[in-house]
Amino acid sequence: MSDESKGTAIICPACGAENLPGTLFCTECGIYLPSGGPLRTEPLPDEQEGATSRRWVQESTLGVNQLVGITIEVLESGRRVPLALEEGKEIFIGRLDAVHGIFPELDLTNDGGLGHGVSRRHARIHTKNGVCFLEDMDSTNGTYLEDERLTPYLPYELHDGDIITLGTMRLRVRLHKRAA
């Protein structure tokens, strides 16, 4: 690196290598560089503020379906991510942050998640009694189900074909049921 850039270089805490300003991962060892870029999800304009959804469901009143999987399609890129649904397991949606131990099952980092206002731990999907639910994890820019803003930490039932919006990133849900 030139002498001019040394003053602003990011020094890797693991291997000591110098990296260019704005670098997110060390070019030598690959570790996440905490000062390499913005870590916070910035609030978006209040254009999407809306009424709380009417789709909130008390989980204890549900019947049993035969859900076995879910596919999430990132509408901007067309990327499809198949995920297994297991009773009692959670699927976290957000952005990778290895330094803070955040490894979401659906990582939207490479889909432009930061620019779309997706938080590191934005939302979660889980099942109870065979029914699939979506919850906002008190994200900075909100989670929307069919354009209705979710109240944080309340479960909202997901249906096949639903559109989820995280910040400004739109996702389509495809639920897979066990063949009868």
Express each pLDDT in 108-132 by its tens digit.
999 999 999 999 999 999 998 888 9
pLDDT of residue 169 exceeding 90: yes
Residues 61 and 31 placed together within one structural domain of the fold: no
Sort strands 90-94 and 106-107 into parallel, antiparallel or unpaired.
Answer: parallel
112 and 163, same domain (yes or no): yes
Same domain, 24 and 105: no
Domain check: are 114 and 173 in the same one?
A: yes
How many structural domains are present in the chain?
Answer: 2
Domain enclosing residue 31, as ranges:
8-37
Co-location of 87 and 150 in the same domain:
yes
Q: Which residue has the tokens 């805490």?
A: 13
In this prediction, residue 34 carries a pLDDT of 67
Helix residue spans in the chain (DSSP H): 3-6
Q: Are residues 61 and 30 in the same domain?
A: no
Determine, yes or no, domain membership for 67: yes
Is 63 within a domain? yes
Residue 1: inside a domain? no
User: For residue 36, what are its two tokens?
Assistant: 């390499």
Residue 112 shares a structural domain with residue 79: yes
Q: Is the dihedral of CA 103, 162, 126, 40 positive or negative?
A: positive
44 located within any domain: no
Q: Angle at CA 47, nearest 5°, toward 42 and 53?
A: 100
Tell me whether residue 66 is in a domain. Answer: yes
Query: Are residues 107 and 58 part of one domain?
Result: yes
> Which CATH number is 90's domain given?
2.60.200.20
Is the model's pLDDT at 1 over the cut of 70? no
| Domain shared by 109 and 161, yes or no | yes
Identify whether 2 is part of a domain.
no
| Residues 106 and 23 grouped into a single domain | no
Predicted confidence at residue 57, as pLDDT, reads 52
Q: What distance in Å separates the CA atoms of residue 70 and residue 177, rounded to the nearest whole number?
A: 9
The answer to whether residue 78 scores a pLDDT higher than 80 is: yes
Q: Give percent of the chain above pLDDT 90.
A: 51
Write out pLDDT tens, residues 10-66: 888 778 888 887 777 788 887 777 654 555 677 777 655 544 444 555 544 444 456
Tokens matching residue 3: 């002498």
Strand partners, 10: 19
| Most confidently modeled range among 22-36, 65-79, 156-170 | 156-170
Predicted local distance difference test score (pLDDT) of residue 128: 87
| 72 and 106 assigned to the same domain | yes
Please give the model's pTM, rounded to 2 decimal places. Answer: 0.66
